[in-house]
Structures are given as C-alpha cells and as structure tokens.
Amino acid sequence: MERVLGIGGYFLRATDPQALSAWYRECLGLDTDEHGLWRQEPGDTVFAAFESGTDYFGSRAQQTMLNFRVRDLDAMLAQLRGKGADVDPESQDMEGVGRFGWVTDPDGNRIELWQPA
C-alpha cells in the first residue's frame, strides 16, 4: 500500500493574503520564502478527527485547526501578546503530551500552539 510521507502544505483563504502571510511571519516567526516554502524542524505531527460539533476549533465555521510545535509556550504567548495578537487567556497541560495555548489570526482562524512534553 502506498502511504503519504507527511504534510506537504496547509492553505488558507484570506481577505488579504499578503497581510495574513506577514502576520504569520512577524508574530509566529514562520520563515517562508516567496513561494510559501517553509523548512520546519523535525518532530511529531498529530492527525486527528474531532466530532463535528466540537467547540475546540473556536468558530463552528472553522473546519480545521492548524497546530504549531513551539519550544517555549510561555515565551511564544508573551511574544504574541506583545504584538497585540488575540491570545486565549487559558492554556492547558496534558500529562505526558505537553502544554497547549491558542491564538486567533487576523482572519479569525484559531491556531493551537503545542510545547511537547
């Protein structure tokens, strides 16, 4: 059986694609080239389906949620707050899994930040 090798891309609709791309670069440090290519650090990726009625993604109109691995969740959340980003005041610890926090991008997409255990 053929298998996928990994995630090859994640694409977002945006009212202003250049501005939204700049937000991801400036607020999250997503170092992409002019074509959107990003060479990320190796690490685990979670692929999971959620119940259709979940509130975990924020708005029910949001069908998927992007999760970024981070080295230091507290430092990333402080950086985002310093840039005026819409950071959820709550965070979550899951024993053996890691810590989670959330931010909403300027187009209303909720993003999860994960500091693995």
Q: In the Cβ-directed half-sphere of 1, how many Cα atoms lie within 13 Å?
A: 2
- For the domain made up of 17-116, the CATH class stated in words is alpha beta
How many degrees, rounded to 5, is the angle at CA 35 between CA 33 and CA 36? 65
% of residues, the chain, pLDDT over 90: 81
Q: Where are the chain's structural domains?
A: 17-116
Choose among 71, 14, 10: nearest CA to 41.
71
Residue where the block lists tokens 């999760």: 67
Distance from chain centroid for Cα 86? 13
pLDDT per residue as tens digits for the range 63-113: 999 999 999 999 999 999 999 999 999 999 999 999 999 999 999 999 999
110-116 and 98-104 strand pairing: antiparallel
Six token digits for residue 57:
């993604």
